[in-house]
Amino acid sequence: MSIDYLIIGAGFSGAVLAERIATQLNKKVLVIERRKHIGGNCYDEKNEANILIHKYGPHLFHTNNKKVIDYLSQFTKWQPYEHKVLAHINGDNIPIPFNFNSIEALFDTHKAQTLINKLLAHYSKNSKIPILTLKKSVDSDLKFLADYIYDKVFRNYTAKQWGIHPDKLDTSVTARVPVFIGRDNRYFNDTYQQIPNKGYTHLFKTMLNHPNITLMLNTEYKDICKLKKDTFYLFNKKFEGKLIYTGQVDELFDFKFGKLSYRSTYMEFETLNQKQYQNATTINYPNDYTFTRITEFKHIHLSQSNQTTILKEYPQMHIQGKNTPYYPIFTEKNKIQYNQYKIYAKTIPNLILVGRLAEYQYFDMDDAIENALEKFKQLRKE
């Protein structure tokens, strides 16, 4: 088997690069995936109730990047989908991100109007203000609002999600929880909000369906690929091509500089004998229960089934070999530790690190795709 590129991982980062290399460079690509399926954490499948579920939690595609949309549109048609999220606060379900409608749902008319007027006086309409920025306000009403949201919405949810106090997280994480200065109840405000009309797995199958691409599923890459000093060996022969790695960077190097911290989630699916469970796709539970949210998939992919499937997510620490690493944990200690791996990786000439786990960054789907496309541009120049 003649292989020009070896790609570890069949999620978006690996699949995009495999497709580009195969179609644009006419090179042979071997994609190795330890799971029994392609698609990474975006994998979806129909369950016993004929409901399309997202096996690793809800994935809602949104972007302002037309280049990414144009690229993916080669492999799928789309159906519009605007994500709506509620948070269970003091016994009521209110819109998230926190906005004017949320304020009116929680406070009396006079207090709500005072808070809305103050927000409009201090910030631009339809802007997003990170909660930690709002907490720095010197206005007493805005300080009250910031403290309320921090206590009721942000602090406990973040502590459950990440397992550490919010103050210890990088601002790139905390900034993802904003207050919206307006009445838009959509969770995202991007120009493009849609999902693949036949699901993500079908998109990946189309993307990887090329004679230059060979897939090896249910395969541990270390069973066929070895790193000895600065050289990779594939099937016990020196590998002369390039290796693109999208998995845990610390695992690749046998935890040479220690284990990096990742957050995992236990996914509990339940199919119920009723047509609908809740009136929004996702309801967050910041202060109640040990799970963070419940998602009902029939809100994403319409189904005529008389049953419905929900997912409860229980965040937990990642334990190597026991559960799935989903999110890098961005603390100063972890960033310093990752940098050791990054520097070491540069000593291996034919190695390319790509993706959330390999680059220890929080990429949304569109970010991951754009990042892979940019990596391909660099490859093409070499």
Tens of pLDDT, residue by residue over 332-353, are 899 999 999 999 999 999 999 9
- For residue 306, what pLDDT band results from cuts at 50, 70 and 90? very high
Q: How confident is the model at residue 344, as a pLDDT?
A: 96
* Cα gap 169→319, rounded to integer Å: 20
Q: What is the mean pLDDT of residues 75-85?
A: 97
Domain 5-43+198-257+327-381 maps to which CATH number in 3.90.1150.50, 3.40.50.720, 3.50.50.60, 3.30.360.10?
3.40.50.720
Q: What is the mean pLDDT of residues 78-103?
A: 95
Q: How confident is the model at residue 176, as a pLDDT?
A: 64
- For residue 132, what pLDDT band results from cuts at 50, 70 and 90? confident
Residue 181 has pLDDT above 90, yes or no: yes
Q: How confident is the model at residue 332, as a pLDDT?
A: 87
DSSP 11-59: SHHHHHHHHHHHHHS---EEEE-SSSSSSGGG-EEE-TTS-EEETTS--
Residue 256 has pLDDT above 90, yes or no: yes
CA nearest neighbour of 203 among 371, 57, 39: 39
Domain chopping of the chain, boundaries: 5-43+198-257+327-381, 97-180
| Residue that is written with structure tokens 């994609």 in the block | 31
Q: How confident is the model at residue 83, as a pLDDT?
A: 96
* Cα gap 292→157, rounded to integer Å: 7
Q: How confident is the model at residue 9, as a pLDDT?
A: 98
Q: What is the mean pLDDT of residues 205-217?
A: 98
* Cα gap 116→87, rounded to integer Å: 20
Q: Collapse the DSSP code of 288 into the 3-class scheme (helix H, G, I; strand E, B; otherwise coil) and give the result.
A: coil
pTM of the predicted structure, to 2 decimals: 0.93
Q: CB neighbours of 101 closer than 8 A, spacing ≥ 6?
A: 94, 95, 183, 185
Q: What is the mean pLDDT of residues 136-154?
A: 92
Q: How confident is the model at residue 171, as a pLDDT?
A: 66
* Lowest mean pLDDT, pick from 39-53, 166-180, 308-322, 332-346: 166-180
- For residue 175, what pLDDT band results from cuts at 50, 70 and 90? low
CA angle, 139 then 145 then 151, to 5°: 130
Average pLDDT, the chain: 94
